[in-house]
Amino acid sequence: MGFWVFAGGLAVLTVALLLRALLRGRAAAVEADVAGIALYREQLAAVAKDAEAGRIDAGEAERLELEIKRRLLEADRAAQGASGTGRAPRELSLGAAVIVAVVVLAGTGGLYWVLGAPGYGDAPIAARIAAAEEYRQTRMRQADAVARFEQNLPDVPDPDISEEFKGLMAQLRTAVAERPDDLQGHVLLVRNEAAMGNFGAAAKAQEAVLRIKAEDAGAQDYLLLAQLWITEAGGYVSPEAEAALAQALRRESENVEARYYWGLMRAQTGRPDLAFNVWRRVMDELPPDAPWAADLPTQIAAAARAAGVEYTPPAPSSTGVRGPSAEDMAAAQDMSPEERQAFIRSMVDGLAEELATDGGTPEKWAQLVRALGVLGEVERQAEIVAEAREVFDGSPEAIALIEAAAGGSQ
């Protein structure tokens, strides 16, 4: 209510100021004419006084009096005309003020109704970020998310599994239970439980895999655990899945799949801006065989809209590598010098255009740098390496990869 009172008061004040300006315009002109009449009368009195005192002769005094009287009559006529025709302009001014009032009040109210959020309190960016972080810290845990997801599942028939396979799975479960430190047994159990749709059981087996591997566990091991939990919860990234993803990214910061799911977690916890930043890099190296690859363009577009960013996902063809691959470079070695030069030149131009317009992964930059070295364009190669250092500032692994490509091509 306070907002509407304040906004309405501003609108009324604006209308009042406009009305005052409209109505005073005509009155100011009349007042100016009246002031002119008084001035001319003072001038007549001054001329008569000077003639009587002998400061000007009679002829000059008569000429001045005639000129002043002429101006006096014109000013009086203008004042009479303004007062005689003042009603119509005043009514027009009042009409214009009413129209302005309607436009201001209805227009501002209508715009706020369409573009604003009537009924909601203030939501400054700092408060929204704090609320998103609080939700992230207190959101639903894995067990509760799975229970909620399973409640909403439609009734579906059990998968058609042969009795023989069921018997083998029973034997595998028994063997793993009897040998809790059997790494290979747990790996097999993870794979087969997941194939049967028992994602919760597969996740428990994967936790055992991580326990057995200990410090030897890699990014893919933690990523698999996160994927199992996310699938079990119907696509929800729980705090447990987030922790597993964090471990995967700690071991391999450029892991594409882990970064995708990290962006999904950010989108689900009220930070579409961070989700967009993560997914934009993922789009540059989108694996076409990933189960989520087809959904990412829609997801990143939605995140961009929510974050207030203008963004159009690139066409699928733009995510591929247009530059020379290792096989291309090897094939070029068998060509004549002229053919090889022309071949590499065409590939280099394509890759350079892609990096300039869409950006790319460190691997693509390394390909370009390596190809420039083959062409002998040392100066341009140095420029590309310098540019890559700025693009990948904060990622020493990427910079090292690109610099290594420059050194290996010389």
Residue closest to 206 by CA, chosen among 192, 185, 224, 219? 224
Q: Would you put residue 248 in left (φ > 0), alpha (ψ -120 to 50) or beta? A: alpha
More confident residue, 328 or 265: 265
Q: Is the pLDDT of residue 238 over 70?
A: yes
Instruction: Return the H-helix or E-strand segment holding 103.
Output: helix 87-115
> Do the Cβ atoms of 23 and 90 come closer than 8 Å?
yes
**In the prediction, which pLDDT does 400 show?**
78
Spatial separation of the C-alpha atoms in residues 260 and 279, rounded to whole Å: 6
pLDDT surpasses 50 at 80: yes
DSSP-assigned states of every residue in 170-217: HHHHHHHHH-TT-HHHHHHHHHHHHHTT-HHHHHHHHHHHHHHHGGG-
CA distance 406 to 410: 7
Distance CA 65, CA 52 (A): 13
238's CB contacts (< 8 A; 6+ apart) are 139, 140, 141, 142, 145, 229, 230
8-state DSSP, 392: T
Question: At what angle are helices 362-375 and 337-358 packed, to 10 degrees?
Answer: 150
**Taking 60 as the threshold, does the pLDDT of residue 56 lie above it?**
yes
> Taking all residues of the chain, what is their mean pLDDT, rounded to a whole number?
78
- DSSP state letter for 57: -
Q: What percent of the chain stands above pLDDT 90?
A: 29
Side chain identity at residue 185, one-letter code: G
Token duo for residue 54 = 């002998």
Instruction: Work out the average pLDDT over 388-396.
Output: 76
- Mean pLDDT for 302-325 is 67
Residue (of 150, 145, 148) closest to 239 by Cα position:
145
Q: How many other C-beta atoms can be found within 10 angstroms of the C-beta atom of residue 361?
A: 18
Total residue length of the chain: 410
The confidence band for 206, taking pLDDT boundaries of 50, 70 and 90, is very high
Q: Encode pLDDT of 128-169 as tens digits.
A: 888 889 999 999 999 999 999 888 766 655 666 778 888 999
Q: Which of 81-90, 193-202, 358-367 has the lowest mean pLDDT?
A: 81-90
Task: State how far the Cα of 296 lies from the Cα of 292, in Å rounded to an integer.
Answer: 6
Q: How far apart are CA 101 and CA 20, in angstroms?
A: 13
Q: How far apart, in whole angstroms, are the C-alpha atoms of residue 264 and residue 259?
A: 9
pLDDT at 278: 92
For residues 357 and 393, give the distance between their C-alpha atoms in angstroms, rounded to a whole number.
Answer: 19
Report which of residues 28 and 349 the model is more confident about: 349
pLDDT of 87: 46
Across the range 107-133, mean pLDDT stands at: 73
Buried b / exposed e over 128-162, threshold 16 CB at 10 Å, is eeeebeeebeebeebeebbeeeeeeeeeeeeeeee
Look at 157 and 5; give whichever has higher pLDDT: 5
Per-residue tokens: 234: 């119907």
Which whole-number Å values give the CA distances from 203 to 87, 147, 220, 223, 288, in the listed order?
87, 16, 14, 11, 25
Residue 94 has pLDDT above 60, yes or no: yes
Mention every residue, 6+ apart, whose C-beta is less than 8 A from residue 395.
253, 254, 362
Q: Indicate if the pLDDT at residue 306 is higher than 70.
A: yes
Alpha-carbon dihedral of residues 55, 61, 67, 68, nearest 10 degrees? 60
Residue 97 binned pLDDT confidence (cut-offs 50, 70, 90): low
pLDDT confidence of residue 159: 63
Average pLDDT score over residue span 58-74: 79
Q: Provide the pLDDT confidence category of residue 86 given band limits of 50, 70 and 90.
A: very low
pLDDT value at position 184? 92
d(CA 70, CA 34): 15
Q: Which two tokens stand for residue 327?
A: 């096989």
Structural contact between residues 368 and 355, judged by C-beta atoms closer than 8 angstroms? yes
Share of the chain above pLDDT 70, in %: 70
Across 207-222, average pLDDT? 94
pLDDT score, position 24: 60
Question: Looking at residues 195-214, what average pLDDT do you find?
Answer: 93
Place of tokens 């995510």: 319
How many Cα atoms within 13 Å fall on the side-chain side of residue 264? Answer: 25
pLDDT of 91 strictly over 70: no
Q: What pLDDT is stored for residue 410 in this prediction? A: 47
In DSSP notation, 269-312 reads: TT-HHHHHHHHHHHHHT--TTSTTTTTHHHHHHHHHHHHT----
Handedness of CA 382, 387, 391, 393 (dihedral sign): positive
Give the pLDDT of residue 218: 94
